[in-house]
Amino acid sequence: MPSPDLSILIIDENRIRASIIEEGLREAGHGRVAVIHDVNEVGRSLQQTMPDVVVIDLENPKRDTLEHFFSLSRAIRRPIAMFVDRSDGAMIEKAVEAGVSAYVVDGLKKERVKPILDMAISRFNAFSRLTRELEEARGALEERKIIDQAKGILMKTRGLSEPDAYALLRSTAMNQNRRIVEIAQSLITAASLLGP
């Protein structure tokens, strides 16, 4: 069972990733989730939300700033320790690989926090996967454009049909043990050098 009474603060400059994590936590039954995008706002947020768990992306250069706020908030008796349990090496490893770091109020039971961190880790990983796929899709689109352009050059200069132009690119690539897009790029470069 989730622990709906825990207060969770998510700090992430990436708004999309932050909302993906927030959504996951809400779906899991956590009602007290706050999100901020800039560590500079954290002083006020700590006072307002009194978080039990703080989740921040590891690449955020302001982790030092955040930790300093925590040390100041010792004055209001909110000691916060990093990660769930110092002995839980595998958990920490998974979190760091996913790019998540988390701070948890001292004395909180591990079984209450672990599902929250598991959620944050899996959503971070899902986000990285999405970003990677998007980049790959973008890359594929670029390649497609290059190949289309090379086909166009062959059709014009050699009077080939589109399927024949593509077949020529493909067989050249196979013969030279290179990728079609590389052959296409060379062709475009050569054509621009030789000029009309």
Partner 1 sequence: MSRPLLTAGFLPLLDSVLLVLAHEMGFADQEGFDLALTRETSWANIRDRSALGHFDIALMLAPMPIAASLGLTPLATPMVAPVMTGLGNNAITVSADLWRAMADAGAPGDLEAGPAGLALARVVRTTPRKLRFGVVHQTSSHNYELRYWLAASGIRPDRDLEIVVLPPPLLPEALGSGGLDGYCVGEPWNSVGVDRHGARIATTKSSIWQWSPDKLIGMRADWAERHPDTVAAVVRAIYRAGRWAHEPQNRLPAAEIMARPPYLNLPVGIVARALTGEIDSGVRQLAIPDYFIPHAGAANFPWKSHALWYYSQMVRWGEVAASPDRAALAAATFRPDLYRAALAPLGVPVPAEDYRKDGDRSEPHPTPALGGDLLLGPNRFFDGAVFDPAALESYVAAQRAE
- The sign of the dihedral angle between the CA atoms of 144, 146, 152, 157 is negative
Residue 7 Cβ, how far from partner 1 at the closest point, in Å?
A: 20
Q: Does 62 bind partner 1 (CB under 8 A)?
A: yes
Taking CB under 8 A as the criterion, the residue among 71, 171, 176, 192 binding partner 1 is 71
Residue 92 Cβ, how far from partner 1 at the closest point, in Å?
A: 7
Alpha-carbon distance of 156 to 140, in angstroms, equals: 24
Q: Does 192 bind partner 1 (CB under 8 A)?
A: no
Residue 88 Cβ, how far from partner 1 at the closest point, in Å?
A: 11
- What's the token pair of residue 190? 């050569």
Q: Does 160 bind partner 1 (CB under 8 A)?
A: no
Taking CB under 8 A as the criterion, the residue among 3, 13, 35, 63 binding partner 1 is 63
CA 191 from centre of chain? 39
Taking CB under 8 A as the criterion, the residue among 1, 61, 175, 195 binding partner 1 is 61
Residue 68 Cβ, how far from partner 1 at the closest point, in Å?
A: 4
Q: Which is nearer to partner 1, 124 or 166 (CB)?
A: 124
Residue 49 Cβ, how far from partner 1 at the closest point, in Å?
A: 20
Taking CB under 8 A as the criterion, the residue among 12, 25, 30, 60 binding partner 1 is 60
Q: Which is nearer to partner 1, 68 or 78 (CB)?
A: 68
Q: What is the DSSP string of the chain?
A: ---TT--EEEE-S-HHHHHHHHHHHHHTT---EEEES-GGGHHHHHHHH--SEEEEETT-TTHHHHHHHHHHGGGGT--EEESS-TT-HHHHHHHHHHTEEEEEETT--HHHHHHHHHHHHHHHHHHHHHHHHHHHHHHHHHHHHHHHHHHHHHHHHH---HHHHHHHHHHHHHHHT--HHHHHHHHHHHHHHH--
From residue 73 to residue 112, what is the string marking binding to partner 1 with x (rule CB under 8 A)? --------xxx--x-----xx--x----x-----------
Q: Does 45 bind partner 1 (CB under 8 A)?
A: no
